[in-house]
Amino acid sequence: MIAPGTDLHLYVHVPFCARRCPYCHFYNLGHADGREALYLDALEAELAAWRREGAFDGRRLATLYWGGGTPSILTAGGFQRLARATLGVAPRAADLEWTIEANPDDATPGRMAAWHAAGASRISIGVQSFDAQRLAFLERVHGVQAARAAVESAARAGFPDISVDLMFNLAVPGRRRAWARDLAVAFDLPITHLSLYGLTIEPGTGFAARADRGAVLTTPDAAAAAEYRAACRAARRAGFEHYEVSSFARPGHRSRHNQAYWRSVPYLGVGPAAHSFDGRRRWANVASLTGWAEALSTGGDPRAFVEELYPRERAIETLYLGLRRAEGVPSDHPLLVGPGARALLASLVASGHVHREENRVACTGRGLLVLDEILERLVGADPGVPSSAEAPAGLSD
C-alpha cells in the first residue's frame, strides 16, 4: 500500500469514448445507456475500499488527473458525481492540479466554464492536428475549427493551464507543410503546454490491421526525426521549455501529475485498466468495465496483476524515466557506476547523445531521438549491477 503522510497523486480512468480511434490501444468503450451509472457506482466502491485500507490517511490531494477514454464525454450529473467522489478522498492542497482530458467536440464554452468553476485547473485537449487531411487520416470526429475553438474556450473560461496533443509521423501527402502548419497554429493559440506523440502501430488497433494488409501509415525514421526536431525548434522559439522527451511547457506550467510518474513517486490509479505504483509494487485493474465493477460489488480484487519490482528492475525503470527528463539522472545512479557503463557514457558524451552537468547525466536532443537504444546499451553494459539481493541506495522506500 502507498505509505501515508505523503502527497497523493490520483489518476482516474474514465473508459468512455464516442468512437474508438484506429491508433488507440488504451482501454475504452462506448458511452451507452447505463454504463455511466455502473462505472460511477464501482468507482465509488473502489475509493471506499482504499479508504478502509487507510490509503488516504494523513494525505493531501496534490494532483488529480482524469484520463481515458474521454472524461469530457460524461454527462453533467456524472461529472458532478465523479468530482465529489475524487475530490473528497483527502484534503486538497492549496495548489491542487486537477487535469481533465477533453476532446474538442465536448469542450463547449458551457462545459469549460462548469469544469473550471468546479475547481479544474488544467485542461488537456486531444487536438492531434489542425489540418483537415491529417484529422481524416486519424479518423478523428472533430474538425479544424472545433480544435481551435476548444483552446479559445478554455482560455475564456479561465483555465491557467491549457495543454494540447499533437501527433507526428503520419504518412499523409504534403506532411512537411502540414506539420509546420500544425506547430504554427498551436503556438499561436493561448496554450501553456504541448504534448507530442509520434504515431506508433500498436497491436490490436485498427491501424495494426491495416498495416498487416500492407498499408503504409508511418514515415521513414529520418522523416519522423526531422518532424520531431522541427517541433523542438518551434517550441523553443515560442518560449517553451523542453522538459521531457515529448513534453513542452511555458515556464511554470509543467504537468506536475506526469512529473510524479517520471520521478517514480507513488501514485494511485482507479477505474478499469488503471495502473498504480506504491514505491515497490506495480499493479493494474482489469481492462473490463463489467469485470472491474463485478469484483468491487462482490468484495473481490479488481486487479489484473500485482508485480514486485526488484532492485535491478527498479534501477532500470528509474534510469529510463530519468533520462526522459531534461534534468536527467544522478551520475551515481546504480546503472551508471560500473566500468562498462562509464566507458559507454564517455562514448555517448563524445558522440553528442548525452551530456554531463555537475553531478547529473542527461540526454541531448539528439540522444532523445534514440532513447530506447541508449537505455538498452546502458542496461547491458554491466549486467551484474546492481545486486538483486540488496536495494541500491536511493531506490528503496
Q: Each residue of 3-23: pLDDT tens digit?
A: 555 899 999 999 999 888 999
Q: Each residue of 183-211: pLDDT tens digit?
A: 999 999 999 999 999 999 999 999 999 99
* Residue 385 confidence (pLDDT): 59
Domains 7-262 and 311-381 share a fold: no
What would the grid cell of residue 288 be? Answer: 473490463
Q: Each residue of 74-120: pLDDT tens digit?
A: 999 999 999 999 999 999 999 999 999 999 999 999 999 999 999 99
Contact criterion met (CB below 8 Å) for 239 and 245: no
DSSP states of 45-81:
HHHHHHHHTTTTTT-EEEEEEEEES-GGGS-HHHHHH
Q: Give the angle subtended at the CA of 363 by the CAs of 391 and 236, to the nearest 5°.
A: 135
Which of the residue ranges 57-61, 172-176, 321-325, 383-387 would you say has the lowest mean pLDDT? 383-387
Domain ranges of the chain: 7-262, 311-381
Q: Each residue of 38-83: pLDDT tens digit?
A: 999 999 999 999 999 999 999 999 999 999 999 999 999 999 999 9
Q: So what CATH class is 7-262?
A: alpha beta
* Residue 1 confidence (pLDDT): 54
Contact criterion met (CB below 8 Å) for 118 and 83: yes
The rounded Cα 6 to chain-centroid distance in angstroms is: 22
Determine the 3-state secondary structure of 309 from DSSP: coil
Q: Each residue of 278-322: pLDDT tens digit?
A: 999 999 999 999 999 999 999 999 999 999 999 989 999 999 999
3-state SS track over 2-48? CCCCCEEEEEEEECEECCCCCCCCCCCEECCCCHHHHHHHHHHHHHH
* Residue 33 confidence (pLDDT): 79
Mean local confidence (pLDDT), 255-274: 96
* Higher-scoring residue by pLDDT: 31, 37: 37
Contact criterion met (CB below 8 Å) for 28 and 285: no
Q: How many CB atoms lie within 10 A of CB 258?
A: 22
What would the grid cell of residue 173 be? Answer: 501527402
Q: So what CATH class is 311-381?
A: mainly alpha
